Amino acid sequence: MSHPLVATTNLVKTYELGGETIHAVDGVSLTIDNGEFVAIMGASGSGKSTFMNMIGCLDVPTSGNVEIDGIPTSDMSGDDLADLRNRKIGFVFQQFNLLARTTAVDNVAVPLIYAGKSGEERRDLATQKLIAMGLGDRLVNSPAKLSGGQQQRVAIARALVTEPLMLLADEPTGALDTRTSEDIMQIFQQLNDDGITVIVVTHEDEIADHAKRKIMFRDGKVIEDAPVTNRRFAKAQEEGQEVPA
């Protein structure tokens, strides 16, 4: 692979708040290659989410560039960015962000609507991903009838359903207990072993230690960028739980 998966150059995001300029992200240049497992850390307000949103093409930088898979995004239209997100990026959110009153299958199938897949394809692919997440018996449950961990697994299935190159997760375990968090991190490790690039924002060291590389933010700047020395490996918690193949 000649080009990195994510490359930022001098990435800046500022907010004007009551005449004051907040440098949420302040000149970040870094690259993330295919197959990496990156944990982004830092204190609250250090700019982690802002950075994530920009490399996820959800937010537009004030200045600087983001290249995804070798393609500069600064001149892309909103619709082109939507297409790029749809095909190359999977998102996992702290609050799961599942559609209420909508079955697990239909939730997972949402990105496929925008990928232009037929109803049958959507159902098949979504079902496949849910089974891979160990939710084969929860296909038609609505989010209200699922535990937090199960909801997050539905969300991961949704993030994966278009076979993206990378998974962006902003505090994916923030709303979960330790045990369930371990489950989720185990899934991420497995996915990463299968070749998907994973980028996780967290402020818990135990979570970050599951990654291969740690990037530390402070006041919008990267203050530390190093491999994880003592990597943690999550163990399957539940008996017979399936892991993605």
Partner 1 sequence: MKRSLSSRLSAWLVNISIAMTALRTNLMRSILTTLGVMIGVFAVTLAVGVGSGAQVSVLESINSLGSNMALVFPQPDGEGGRRSFERGRLTTRDARAIEREIDGVTDIAPQLRVSITLVASGNSTSTSAIGATPAYGRVSNVAAEQGRFITDADVRTAARVVVLGTSTAESMFGDYNPVGESLRINRIPFKVIGVLESKGSSFGNDNDDIAIMPLSTVRQRFVGDTLAGPDDLHILFVGFQDGVQLSTAKREMTDLLRDRYKVRGRDGNPFTIRTTEEFIEETGQVTGIFQTVLVAIASISLLVGGIGIMNIMLVSVTERTREIGLRMALGAKKSDIRNQFLVEAAVLCVIGGAMGLLLAIAAGRVLTAYADFPVPIGLGVSIGAIIFSALVGLVFGGWPAVRASRLSPIEALRTE
Ligand X SMILES: Nc1ncnc2c1ncn2[C@@H]1O[C@H](COP(=O)(O)OP(=O)(O)OP(=O)(O)O)[C@@H](O)[C@H]1O
Could you tell me how many residues make up the chain?
Answer: 245
Binding segment (CB under 8 A) for partner 1, from list 3-11, 27-35, 54-62, 174-182: 54-62
Q: Which of 22, 76, 110, 175 binds partner 1 (CB under 8 A)?
A: 110
By the 10 Å C-beta count (0-12 exposed, 13-18 middle, 19+ buried), 50 is classed as buried
User: Whole-number minimum distance, CB 206 to partner 1, in Å?
Assistant: 27
Q: Which residues in the 28-57 window bind Mg ion by CB under 5 A?
A: 49
Query: Do 47 and 219 touch, CB atoms closer than 8 A?
Result: yes
Q: Which two tokens stand for residue 148?
A: 């937090």
Cα distances (angstroms) measured from residue 68 to each of 6, 31, 65, 94, 164 = 5, 10, 10, 23, 12
In whole angstroms, what is the distance from residue 10 CA to residue 164 CA? 26
Q: Which residues in the 169-198 window bind Mg ion by CB under 5 A?
A: none
Binding segment (CB under 8 A) for partner 1, from list 4-12, 79-87, 217-225, 229-237: 79-87
Contacts (Cβ under 8 Å, ≥6 apart) of 214: 38, 39, 41, 208, 224, 225, 226, 227, 228
Q: Which two tokens stand for residue 233?
A: 């490996």
143 binds partner 1 (CB under 8 A): no
118 binds, among ligand X, partner 1, Mg ion, none (CB under 5 to 8 A by kind): partner 1
186 binds partner 1 (CB under 8 A): no
List interacting residues with partner 1 (CB under 8 A): 53, 56, 58-60, 78-79, 82-83, 85-87, 91, 93, 97, 99, 101-102, 110-111, 113-119, 158, 162
List interacting residues with Mg ion (CB under 5 A): 49
